[in-house]
Chain A
């Protein structure tokens, strides 16, 4: 299918339409619920599945090679900072996995670069990027140059 939407769960909120990277989750005008308009452009990336507040979206593997009778469900919890997966095989076997998705509350650890001290002219004229050189080696080492490395660039011998 690959993603599909359960009729009785979808309330037409459009979160999946907003997030789909492939622009293939659209609202059906008759039912006012979402559906996948172009399965052969669906990557099974699960962005819409994760975004759906109703858990209305699921995936049925590609018909070209995936037999029926399986499921891979997901629950992404931003508050807890976790993602939980449940894999059900065709033969009924079940596997569960839980992983962290972030170590910090969303966005809190990202500085606003408009508010940090402006770069000096010396920094502008150097090869350094923001937070460098400190953040490269986390010590007092400098940015690597060809000279430090004892190297030069030489034209390929066959040219």
Chain B
């Protein structure tokens, strides 16, 4: 097809992906770079893109320091406990100390935040969550981003980052294609903030027909954050830390408000509490530092999410499923019933549709819960993403190389799913990370670090050929067969996705194998992924929509490979309930109380794996060796 090449030159800050991370970046960049050229490239339409497209009913990360509710370090401690000790505490502390200013601005812009009528404070759902009427959360933050950006390019699928040819390991912009016109878009930029998404649909979903669309994380979260950065040679961290969600069955409706605000609880098919009976054996697996029900009971210390999943998985495997959420008491209160329904309508309409279709009224029956397929992302309760520098005044030397939220590629910054080691950022934290990245990116440019970037016509042409190859491939081979989708020369993107999901599920610990894998399985997985990479050269797209799907598949495939490499490298079961290494079924702090870091060589495709130290926040008066799980005193 005839495509035009459209070059956007002289960009200072290019924001790739305008979800909550990207909108935060674009918005803040304008303040620190009032005369800079700020451009957004978004795969869909900024007004309804990213994970918050349909809205949210809660902001899950708010300290409430103004009312003395929490300090940033409290949140770090919570995230550390939930992730079994392994997080980037510098990045988390930094995000948490800024996040409240983000939320206060959201309220200023018109986001309806619920108030507690007694205290006048924001209405708490739980210790970290506040409740909002967030149907238009995304349009509101999109408006802010649009006010700041020079240009917003909607419907641009960014496929690759451009690299500087005068200085190795420096970013120079990005390229992609317009999903509507097919035009080739080149963005030449001094700094790039990657706000692209994490990954749904890497592992086989529980519903495989039409219902495959009803994933927990948005189906358009296609691992582009990882595909773009890994292919450019950025170091990644904690990619093995995939997340499995316990959610309302089939609809994946959220459970947070039910547990925390409606005070609902779970039970097995016999109506029994089941969690505590799995704790003794689980404690033997993970150690007392990570699971101490007695301490949790006395101090309200949370039980890590993965361990609660483990109890569900075990109980169901023992034949006492399904697990039910006990809603019948709470829903007798009309106010709580309204909260329960609006919770879905605000962020998971599909669950309301399902309950209407199946006549489930939680007033009269307790709905089923189940565990989801695994997802790979970095903004919810998990922390896959790029290995990024922290802030100057917090980070130790191993975590600091000049600019906050900058990856190991110069000039390439991350926000949201793109940043590794920062779980529990959620929407407000992702927006805040975008803001931090934007300030740092402007400083990077002002410091003269982006001078003399060279991008040759050859690099641009090479990428163009690569991008349109699936369309070309289809055109050449489609008439080799009479009709239909079976062709010896190519696979289409859906066929490729099916293959990826099947092999990740069976070899890398998906739901059909009880989230179980081991060294042997992972090595087979890598071998199959390698062969699949060859077949991805023969992926065919019959139109621009399929070309979009082809590139989403390529990004998902690259992320899946990285996940497998990390899972192979970490020889322990650190997060039982997210995945199990059957050959090393225990937490092994002696060898693995570390963050895993990978780098894929863009030239050879070889991965280099390393361990990076895990720093913990401790009281500065502490002179003795802290335990692995150092405790922070509350002030």
Contact = CB atoms under 8 A, between A and B. Distances in A.
A88 to B, nearest CB: 6
A156 B108 contact: no
Contacts of A37: 545
Nearest to B439: A129
A75 B300 CA distance: 42
A45 B341 contact: no
B393 A127 contact: yes
B212 A47 contact: no
B110 A21 contact: no
Given A43-B54, A101-B112, A129 B356 contact: no
B359 A93 contact: yes
B443 interface: yes
Most B CB contacts (10 A, CB to CB) among A18, A69, A104, A144 go to A144
A135 B621 contact: no
Contacts of A114: 30, 34, 148
Interface stretch (B169-177, B347-355, B460-468, B513-521): B347-355
B119 interface: no
Interface residues of A, number: 94
Interface in A74-119: 74, 76, 83, 85, 87-91, 93, 95, 97, 99-114, 116, 118-119
Contacts of B358: 65-67, 90
A93 to B, nearest CB: 7
A158 interface: yes
A43 B135 contact: no
Interface string B64-82: 0110000111000000000
B490 interface: no
B135 A83 contact: yes
Contacts of A158: 589-594, 628
Interface in A138-159: 138-139, 141, 143-147, 149-159
Contacts of B85: 156
B356 A62 contact: no
A10 interface: no
Contacts of B354: 61-62, 65-66
B630 interface: yes
Contacts of A149: 71-73, 617, 635
Interface in B30-62: 30-32, 34, 44-45, 47-50, 53-54
B33 to A, nearest CB: 10
A70 interface: yes
B250 interface: yes
Interface size class of B (residues with CB under 8 A): 35 or more
B346 interface: yes
Contacts of A83: 135-136, 345
A41 B100 contact: no
Contacts of A141: 65
Most B CB contacts (10 A, CB to CB) among A21, A104, A144 go to A21
Given A20-B44, A152-B620, A154-B626, A93 B361 contact: yes
Given A66-B357, A154-B630, A23 B48 contact: no
Contacts of B133: 99-101
A42 interface: yes
A113 B353 contact: no
B350 A150 contact: no
B402 interface: no
A145 B112 CA distance: 30
Given A61-B354, A102-B111, A146-B93, A155 B614 contact: yes
A21 B52 CA distance: 11
Nearest to B250: A65
A72 B352 contact: yes
Contacts, number: 322
Interface stretch (B215-223, B263-271, B376-384, B503-511): B215-223
A56 interface: no
A132 B361 CA distance: 46
Interface stretch (B139-147, B473-481, B526-534): B139-147
Contacts of B155: 23
A94 to B, nearest CB: 10
A22 interface: yes
A42 B101 contact: no
B353 A72 contact: yes
Contacts of A107: 143, 147
B34 A101 contact: no
A62 B213 contact: yes
A156 B615 contact: yes
A116 B31 contact: yes
Given A90-B357, A154-B616, A156-B593, A64 B210 contact: yes
B191 to A, nearest CB: 16
Contact of B48 (A2, A21, A133): A21
B105 interface: yes
Interface string B360-383: 010000000000000000000000
Contacts of A87: 341, 352, 356
B248 to A, nearest CB: 12
A131 B105 contact: yes
A148 B520 CA distance: 49
Nearest to A24: B545
A119 B31 contact: yes
A61 B353 contact: yes
A130 interface: yes
Contacts of A108: 110
Given A40-B211, A110-B147, A157-B593, 9 more contacts: A20-B48, A43-B350, A67-B357, A72-B349, A100-B133, A104-B109, A130-B31, A156-B615, A156-B628
Enumerate the 6 nearest inter-chain pairs by beta-carbon distance, A residue then B residue, closest first. A64-B211, A158-B593, A104-B110, A62-B211, A45-B54, A44-B350
Interface of A: 1-2, 18-24, 26, 37-47, 59, 61-72, 74, 76, 83, 85, 87-91, 93, 95, 97, 99-114, 116, 118-119, 124, 127, 129-133, 135-139, 141, 143-147, 149-159
30 contacts: A2-B353, A19-B47, A22-B219, A23-B44, A23-B548, A40-B212, A41-B220, A42-B219, A43-B213, A44-B353, A45-B218, A47-B53, A59-B349, A62-B211, A65-B211, A67-B357, A90-B356, A104-B110, A107-B147, A113-B34, A116-B31, A124-B443, A131-B105, A135-B104, A136-B65, A136-B104, A138-B66, A144-B73, A150-B619, A158-B590
